[in-house]
Amino acid sequence: MKTRQARAAAVPYVGWMALFIVIPLVLIVVYAFTANDGSFTLQNFASMGDYAGVFGRSLLLAAIATMICLLLGYPVALAISKESPTFQKLAMMLIMLPMWINFLLRTYAWMSLLENTGLINRFLGLIGIGPFQMINTQGAVVLGMVYNYLPFMILPIYSVIVKIDRSLIEAAQDLGADGATVFRKVTFPLSLPGVLSGVTMVFVPSVSTFIISTLLGGGKDMLLGDLIEMQFVGTAYNPHLGSAISLIMMVIVIACMLVMNRFGEGEEGAVML
């Protein structure tokens, strides 16, 4: 009886998955391997060689943004985890607060800050520096990625660090380990699941972004998201090529996630003393 009830309760979820996930994926696969006349072809994948630079640029900028998020997010997560529970709750609220604002509005705000007559260049002008060309550059795109996705790095790392058994750290200190050694051989190894989760959560949306590159990059350096959008709604309308690119990008994302999961296996119990 309970099994039937559980299956009945899962029906809406399965229907939702089929309608909005499975069917679109099937359509992407069909379009990727067909031509305009519906015949089977691999030409869509062969044509992607012309966009090797776009693939490389997207992966590079996403990797840079992910590394910056890790370098910024880990110390923040570690520092918050050492504070009182009240402070931790307040810090988490402040970190998540910008995420409550529309993604597009946040990106538009950075446009106002980075443009040649924006607040940053105006401030630099007051002290006799600049103006600098900050908008419509790859640096602005990376900055937009870091700003928007940094919380996705901080939160998983914090959630893992805060659960580390303090007795392990105290034991390492009792054995004569200094702060750097405790971090290198106890804290960091135990926090690797959070690090790998954060890297995945930042890299995946970064490599497929298109709004950030369009608004902050000015469309000068096309990324994968821009290329796919152009094939479906842009002037170079070609849904077959767009589907092939989307399929390859999904494969890249899944491969990255599998690699991260593979490295994360067994890290929960890894203490290198």
Average pLDDT of 150-164? 94
3-state secondary structure of 270: coil
203-215 residue pLDDT tens? 989 998 888 988 8
Please give the radius of gyration of the chain, using alpha carbons only, rounded to the nearest integer: 23
- The rounded distance, in Å, linking the Cα atoms of 206 and 61 is 8
Instruction: Report the range of poorest mean pLDDT among 30-34, 98-102, 258-262.
Output: 258-262
81-127 residue pLDDT tens? 999 999 999 999 999 988 888 888 899 899 989 988 888 888 888 88
pLDDT on residue 268: 46
Q: What are phi and psi of 34, to 5 degrees?
A: -130, 160
pLDDT on residue 21: 85
pLDDT on residue 264: 60
Q: Which residues contact 263 (CB under 8 A, 6 or more apart)?
A: 192, 196
Taking alpha carbons only, the member of 192, 211, 191 closest to residue 149 is 211
Instruction: Report the range of poorest mean pLDDT among 9-18, 71-80, 157-166, 190-199.
Output: 9-18
Both structure tokens of 101: 């604002």
- Assign 18 a pLDDT band (cuts: 50, 70, 90): confident
pLDDT on residue 265: 58
- Assign 187 a pLDDT band (cuts: 50, 70, 90): very high
Percentage above 90 pLDDT, the chain: 45
Specify the residue for token string 């989307």: 246
In order of 58, 73, 193, 204, 260, the CA distances from 196 in angstroms are 20, 13, 5, 12, 6
Average pLDDT of 66-71? 97
- Assign 174 a pLDDT band (cuts: 50, 70, 90): confident
Instruction: Report the range of poorest mean pLDDT among 7-16, 49-58, 155-164, 219-228.
Output: 7-16
CA 189 to chain centre: 22
Average pLDDT of 170-176? 86
Residue 271 has pLDDT above 60, yes or no: no
Report domain 55-269's class.
Answer: mainly alpha
pLDDT on residue 1: 54
Residue 197 has pLDDT above 70, yes or no: yes
pLDDT on residue 139: 93
Average pLDDT of 151-172? 92
